């Protein structure tokens, strides 16, 4: 088999972390006997600098013609980077939103797993963490407030701003189907999050999830309000396995959830469209403050590459191998700066971004 992967290195630490993920992908492809064709394209701030817009047509076309997209991270520091002097719709983040919509990436998978070796990094107490947690959040990604109509008008002499939160039944149905099937795979309960006591869109969300739940009897479905979930994630994260929610709530809750692991540099993400196509990127940002210093953590990007192997290329063996390799380097005591313990520990070795990539290749 030969697969085409478009690579968007992006900004800040993007090029470094993507470089290591490519190293790992090449090695595992060799080991598993398939071949990967990488095509690099401009995106985000880098694309603005080169051609004045965050998502050039050529980039979009390349993404469309590939089996999957591997992305670094985009954007810079607001107030520092000149990209944020541009109008909102020309900024790096606008490119990302347009890319999601154009590629139909409606399903965002954001896992938050606490690695046993990195328990100490969690801001939560030992007794709260308990057995640890391994949560998969499924966030709807091309609907809701993000893509509804927006307006700023003057009415009766004052400015009035509007954003529309809109959900169509089929947009909820397709995300519910994925949520139930992931819950089934994991043998886990499913918690759907909404604000049905206030929002009409949440009431439709809840109704459709409930209907889907009547068909999927093996999965125990429950509903939580978004404010209550914001509490429960901090009080008892181990209680959850699969959580599904709409776009804006997912943006907030997935970041809260990422933070309770204490190691954002370990968290991958996948944004899936119809038919296996997907875009894969680390959950963290572009960290402009440490860019170019070969000290970023490439593991989130490497784990994103594993998700790419799993969900878009169906190379399950290769995906498992990469995930195992990540566990192994942690067990061996290798750490990048962001996950290096604050209290001294025996046999823990600080590595640069590229050294971490090399170790992964070694253990593969």
List residues near a second copy by CB under 8 A: 88, 91, 93, 97, 122-125, 127-128, 145-146, 148, 150-152, 155, 158-170, 195-201, 203-205, 226-228, 230-231, 233-235, 248-249, 251-256, 258-260, 342
Does residue 326 contact residue 360 with C-beta atoms inside 8 Å?
yes
Q: Which two tokens stand for residue 122?
A: 């969690």
Does the annotation list 132 as a binding residue? Answer: no
Q: Which does 248 bind (CB under 5 to 8 A by kind): ligand IPM, a second copy, none?
A: a second copy
Identify residues 209-228 at the interface with ligand IPM (CB under 6 A).
227
Kindly state the smallest distance separating residue 63's Cβ from a second copy, in Å. Answer: 21
Residue of 255, 328, 332, 337 with catalytic role: 255
Query: Cα(316)–Cα(307) distance, rounded to whole angstroms?
Result: 9
The residue at minimum Cβ distance from ligand IPM is 93
Interface map 178-197 toward ligand IPM (x if CB under 6 A): -------------------x
**Residue 158: both structure tokens together:** 């004052």
Contacts of 105 (CB under 8 A, 6+ apart): 99, 141, 142, 271, 272, 273, 278, 279
As a whole number of angstroms, the distance between CA 115 and CA 130 comes to: 13
Q: Is 251 a catalytic residue?
A: yes
- Residue listed under structure tokens 């089929």: 170
Active site residue 49: no
Cα(127)–Cα(155) distance, integer angstroms: 54
Question: Cα-Cα-Cα-Cα dihedral of 138, 142, 144, 149, to 10°?
Answer: 170
Residue 134 annotated in active site:
no
Is 289 annotated in some ligand binding site?
yes
Nearest-angstrom CA–CA distance, 342 and 120: 9
Tell me the closest approach of the beta carbon of residue 208 to ligand IPM, in angstroms: 22
Rounded to a whole number, what is the largest CA-CA distance in the chain? 68
CB 17 within 8 A of CB 293: no
The answer to whether 139 is annotated as binding is yes
Which range, of 31-39, 53-61, 91-99, 168-176, touches ligand IPM by CB under 6 A? 91-99
User: Do residues 75 and 83 lie in contact, with contact meaning Cβ atoms separated by under 8 Å?
Assistant: yes
Residue 169: which residues within 8 A CB-CB, separation 6 or more? 204, 208
The Cα 201–Cα 194 span in angstroms is 9
Check binding of 96 to ligand IPM (CB under 6 A).
yes
With respect to a second copy, which residue has the nearer C-beta, 221 or 306? 221
Stretch binding ligand IPM (CB under 6 A), from 17-25, 92-100, 235-243, 272-280:
92-100
82 marked as part of a ligand binding site: no
Question: 3, 115, 146, 167: which one is catalytic?
Answer: 146
* Residues involved in catalysis: 146, 195, 227, 251, 255
Binding site residue list for Mg(2+): 227, 251, 255
- Going by the annotation, the residues of the binding site for substrate are 100, 110, 139, 227
Query: Which residues bind to ligand IPM, rule: CB under 6 A?
Result: 93, 96-97, 197-198, 227, 251
């Amino acid at each position: 088999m030969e697969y085409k992967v478009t690579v968007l290195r992006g900004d800040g630490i993007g090029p470094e972390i993507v470089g290591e993920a490519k190293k790992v992908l090449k090695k595992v492809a060799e080991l598993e006997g398939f071949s990967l064709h990488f095509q690099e394209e401009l995106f985000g701030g880098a694309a603005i600098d080169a051609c004045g817009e965050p998502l050039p047509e050529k980039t979009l076309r390349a993404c469309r013609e590939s089996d999957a997209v591997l992305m670094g991270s985009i954007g810079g520091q607001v107030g520092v980077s000149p990209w944020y002097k541009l109008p909102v719709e020309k900024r790096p983040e606008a490119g990302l939103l347009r890319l999601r919509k154009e590629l139909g990436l409606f399903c965002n998978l954001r896992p938050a797993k606490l690695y046993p070796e990195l328990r100490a990094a969690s801001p939560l107490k030992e007794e709260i963490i308990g057995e640890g947690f391994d949560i998969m959040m499924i966030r709807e990604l091309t609907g809701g407030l993000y893509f509804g109509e927006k307006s700023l008008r003057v009415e009766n002499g004052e400015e009035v701003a509007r954003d529309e939160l809109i959900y169509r039944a089929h947009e909820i149905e397709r995300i519910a189907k994925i949520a139930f099937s992931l819950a089934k795979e994991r043998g886990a309960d499913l918690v759907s999050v909404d604000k049905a006591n206030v929002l009409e869109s949440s009431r439709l969300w809840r109704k459709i999830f409930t209907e889907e739940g009547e068909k999927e009897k093996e999965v125990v479905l429950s509903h939580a309000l978004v404010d209550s979930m914001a509490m429960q994630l901090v009080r008892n994260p181990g209680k959850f396995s699969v959580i599904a929610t709409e776009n804006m709530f997912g943006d907030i809750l997935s970041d809260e959830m990422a933070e309770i692991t204490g190691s954002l540099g370990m968290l991958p993400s996948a944004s899936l469209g119809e038919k296996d196509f997907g875009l894969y990127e680390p959950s963290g940002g572009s960290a402009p403050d440490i860019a170019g210093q070969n000290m970023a953590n490439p593991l989130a990007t490497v784990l994103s590459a594993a998700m790419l192997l799993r969900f878009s290329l169906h190379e399950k063996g290769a995906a498992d191998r990469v995930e195992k390799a990540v566990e192994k380097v942690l067990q061996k005591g290798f750490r990048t700066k962001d996950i290096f313990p604050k209290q001294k520990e025996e046999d823990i070795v600080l590595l640069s971004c590229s050294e971490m990539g090399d170790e992964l290749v070694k253990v593969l």
